[in-house]
Every structure is written in structure tokens, then in C-alpha cells.
């Protein structure tokens, strides 16, 4: 029986020839000739079902490929000659992404028809799809931090490297510290984040909420303003290299004052005043007017403070904590009676 052909791969190549083509079929062991149209080609019989052949020079268009053996000539499969120009890459977007790979990139240029390979610094793309003669979508492979030349190979050749044909791999951001690591539930705390690979940060998040604002100071430092929040949360930074590890931040509720006992005392210092309220455990300051007093935190609802000396009359008493400052209550200093 004559040989048969069932598949050809690849099925196109440049008119200059030289494409290594695999022919699949049956009865190929005794092949004496492989022809592209009427032109014989150099070939190697790999097995009874496979031949490897090098396409000869041809003219643009489709040509019938046949195998000849003593038993006869196979039916033809089609190979298409392409008058292909060398491809050119003019843009890569986005032009950066993480070293872990996985970024979907749109490559723009010319001469992409029949592309057989897309490489990032000589590493094959994880996958790619030819959308048109001027556009390819490719998924980046893993890479090393820094620039990677992007090249496209077609039957017409491999694109040259140019400034527009680069993808920049970014190392993943790392956070090592946040200071302060706490602030009021109302937000507004300016937090200094320390770490590495923080340049080009696009987002700073407190939990799922974006920072009110942030400033990139250097590759190792960012300052971010905390948004409003509650309880314990995690701060992360997003860059082209990915999302950082989290560092903790705790929101404290604002303190309240509900009572003073006693509510009055002498103008001299020394009266011990009990302040009651809520969220007092992190108290950092108790003030009588503009004067800071000595104090002791008894519990989250109670503080004892020593009233400082001052002129007779009412004075505002407030408490400052990690959650902010309380509203004031009035303590009245009473002058000693005159004799």
C-alpha cells in the first residue's frame, strides 16, 4: 500500500525555506522522496509513522507535500509559504510585573503572523496567543529582578531587541516594621512602613481599606495615613512585584469621660480625683486645663489623677489615649476662705 500522510507541523514557513517540518502518517519506512510541490526536500525517516523534513525554498502560497515510496505516492498535505518579514516589537504592556511570572502582557508590533515563540530574556513565555499580525498576548514566565528583553520568533525570523521591547521583573515587596503600630479608630495616624522593594507601590492597605494617602520615601520606606477602622488589622503594600507580607496595626476607640469625684477641690495641688469613663486603659496623659497631672490607670473605666495647683475657678479635665482625646469635664478649684 502507498504511504499515507495525516498531519504536518508546522504547516507554514518562510519562502527562504529551512523550516523543520514533522510529517505524520503510515507506511513511511520505505520513503524515497519527499516533495514540496515538485521540489524535493531533505528528509529523515524517524519511524514508520514519522518523517522529519526541511522545507526547500519556495514561492509564497500553498504547496502540496507528498511522500514517495516504492509502494506509491501519498495523498498530499498542505504547507504554506509565507513571504514573512522579520517581526518587530514596538510595545509591551504592562511593562512590569512580579518575578513569580503569571502577568498577562500585550505585545504590539508587526509581522507576528505564524509566531512560533515568545521569549522573556531567552525564557519561553508560559503561554502566548497570536491575536493578529500586530498583537500577541503572552503570559510571563518566572524571571529575575530587572529588565528582560522580549522577542518574538516567526517564520520570518526573530525580532531585534529595542528599548520598547523590555519587561521589567520586580522583586516582591517585604515589610519588616510599622511605627506606630496603633492609632485611633477615627484614622489619621501617619505610619512609617519599613521594608524592601517598596518602589512603585500602587496601593497601601489597612485590612481591605486603602490608606487615606501614602508617600514613597525610598525603596525601603513608605509613610501612610491610616484610614478609619476598628480592632486589629494588617497593613500590606502592593507593587508591580506583588503584595507584601502583612504587618499588624491596632485601632483603639476614642476615650470618654463620664464622671469626676470629687468635682471640686482647693487651689493647691494634691487632691486625688477619680475619673470614670470608657476606653481608658491606654491613657497617656491627663490634663487639668493646660497642665499635665500625675495619674494611675486603675482599669479600662477608671483613672486616679492628682489635681495640680491652679487659680480658683472651673478647669477642663480630659484624657488622652492611643484612641485620641476625650471630651472634657469640669473640675472647680475653690479658694480658701479669707480670715
Using DSSP, state whether 313 is helix, strand or coil. strand
Nearest-10 Cα torsion for 258, 264, 266, 270? -30
Using DSSP, state whether 232 is helix, strand or coil. strand
State how far Cα 78 lies from the chain centre.
Answer: 45
- pLDDT, tens only, 107-128: 999 989 889 899 999 999 999 9
pLDDT at 92: 97
Q: Is the pLDDT of residue 187 over 70?
A: yes
Q: Is 32 exposed, middle or buried (0-12, 13-18, 19+ CB in 10 A)?
A: exposed
The closest of 96, 104, 158 to 126, measured between CA atoms, is: 104
Using DSSP, state whether 182 is helix, strand or coil. strand
Q: In sequence order, which residues have a C-beta less than 8 Å from that of residue 28 and are 6 or more positions away?
A: 3, 45, 47, 48, 49, 50, 51, 67, 69
pLDDT at 339: 66
C-alpha count within 13 angstroms, C-beta hemisphere, residue 149: 12
The backbone torsions φ and ψ at residue 133, rounded to the nearest 5 degrees and listed phi first, read -65, -15
Mean pLDDT within 56-62: 92
- The mean pLDDT of the chain is 95
Write the DSSP assignment of 238-283 as a string of letters.
EETTEEPPPEEEEEEPPPEEEEEESSEEESSS--EEEEEEES-TT-
Write the DSSP assignment of 7-62 as a string of letters.
EEES-EEETT---EEEEEEES-TT--EEEETTEE-EEEEEETTEEEEE-----SEE
- pLDDT, tens only, 225-260: 999 999 999 999 999 999 999 999 999 999 999 999
Mean pLDDT within 81-97: 89
- pLDDT, tens only, 44-53: 999 999 999 9
Q: In sequence order, which residues have a C-beta less than 8 Å from that of residue 122 and are 6 or more positions away?
A: none
Mean pLDDT within 204-208: 97
Q: How confident is the model at residue 5 (pLDDT cuts 50, 70, 90)?
A: very high
CA separation, residue 128 to residues 49, 169, 245 (Å): 29, 18, 31
State how far Cα 192 lies from the chain centre.
Answer: 21
Residues in the chain: 339
pLDDT at 24: 97
Q: Is the pLDDT of residue 262 over 70?
A: yes
CA separation, residue 47 to residues 23, 29, 44, 68, 79 (Å): 11, 6, 9, 15, 21
Using DSSP, state whether 318 is helix, strand or coil. strand
Q: Is the pLDDT of residue 155 over 80?
A: no
Q: How confident is the model at residue 292 (pLDDT cuts 50, 70, 90)?
A: very high
pLDDT at 12: 85
Q: How many helices (H) and strands (E) does the chain have?
A: 0, 40
The backbone torsions φ and ψ at residue 286, rounded to the nearest 5 degrees and listed phi first, read -125, 130
Amino acid at each position: 500500500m502507498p504511504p499515507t500522510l495525516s498531519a504536518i507541523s508546522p504547516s507554514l514557513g518562510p519562502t527562504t525555506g529551512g523550516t523543520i517540518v514533522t510529517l505524520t502518517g503510515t507506511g513511511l519506512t520505505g520513503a524515497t522522496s519527499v516533495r514540496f510541490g515538485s521540489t524535493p526536500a531533505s528528509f529523515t525517516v524517524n519511524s514508520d509513522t514519522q518523517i522529519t523534513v526541511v522545507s526547500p525554498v519556495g514561492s509564497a502560497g500553498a504547496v502540496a507535500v507528498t511522500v514517495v515510496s516504492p509502494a506509491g505516492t501519498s495523498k498530499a498535505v498542505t504547507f504554506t509559504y509565507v513571504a514573512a518579514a522579520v517581526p518587530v516589537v514596538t510595545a509591551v504592556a504592562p511593562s512590569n510585573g512580579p518575578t513569580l511570572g503569571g502577568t498577562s502582557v500585550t505585545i504590539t508590533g508587526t509581522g507576528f503572523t505564524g509566531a512560533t515563540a515568545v521569549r522573556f530574556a531567552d525564557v519561553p513565555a508560559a503561554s502566548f496567543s497570536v491575536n493578529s499580525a500586530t498583537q500577541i498576548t503572552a503570559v510571563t514566565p518566572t524571571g529575575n529582578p530587572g529588565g528582560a528583553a522580549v522577542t518574538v520568533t516567526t517564520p520570518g525570523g526573530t525580532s531585534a531587541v529595542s528599548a520598547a521591547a523590555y519587561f521589567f521583573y520586580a522583586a516582591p515587596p517585604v515589610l519588616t516594621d510599622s511605627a506606630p503600630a496603633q492609632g485611633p479608630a477615627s484614622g489619621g495616624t501617619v505610619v512609617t512602613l519599613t521594608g524592601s522593594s517598596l518602589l512603585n507601590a500602587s496601593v497601601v492597605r489597612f485590612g481591605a481599606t486603602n490608606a487615606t494617602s501614602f508617600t514613597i520615601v525610598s525603596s525601603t520606606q513608605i509613610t501612610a495615613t491610616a484610614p478609619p477602622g476598628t480592632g486589629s488589622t494588617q497593613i500590606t503594600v502592593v507593587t508591580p512585584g506583588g503584595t507584601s507580607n502583612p504587618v499588624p496595626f491596632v485601632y483603639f476607640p476614642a476615650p470618654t469621660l463620664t464622671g469626676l469625684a470629687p468635682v471640686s477641690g482647693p487651689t493647691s495641688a494634691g487632691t486625688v480625683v477619680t475619673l470614670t469613663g470608657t476606653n481608658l486603659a491606654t491613657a497617656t496623659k491627663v490634663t487639668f486645663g493646660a497642665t499635665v497631672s500625675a495619674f494611675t490607670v486603675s482599669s479600662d473605666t477608671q483613672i486616679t489623677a492628682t489635681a495640680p495647683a491652679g487659680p480658683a475657678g472651673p478647669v477642663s479635665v480630659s484624657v488622652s489615649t492611643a484612641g485620641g482625646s476625650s471630651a472634657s469635664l469640669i473640675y472647680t478649684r475653690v479658694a480658701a476662705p479669707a480670715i
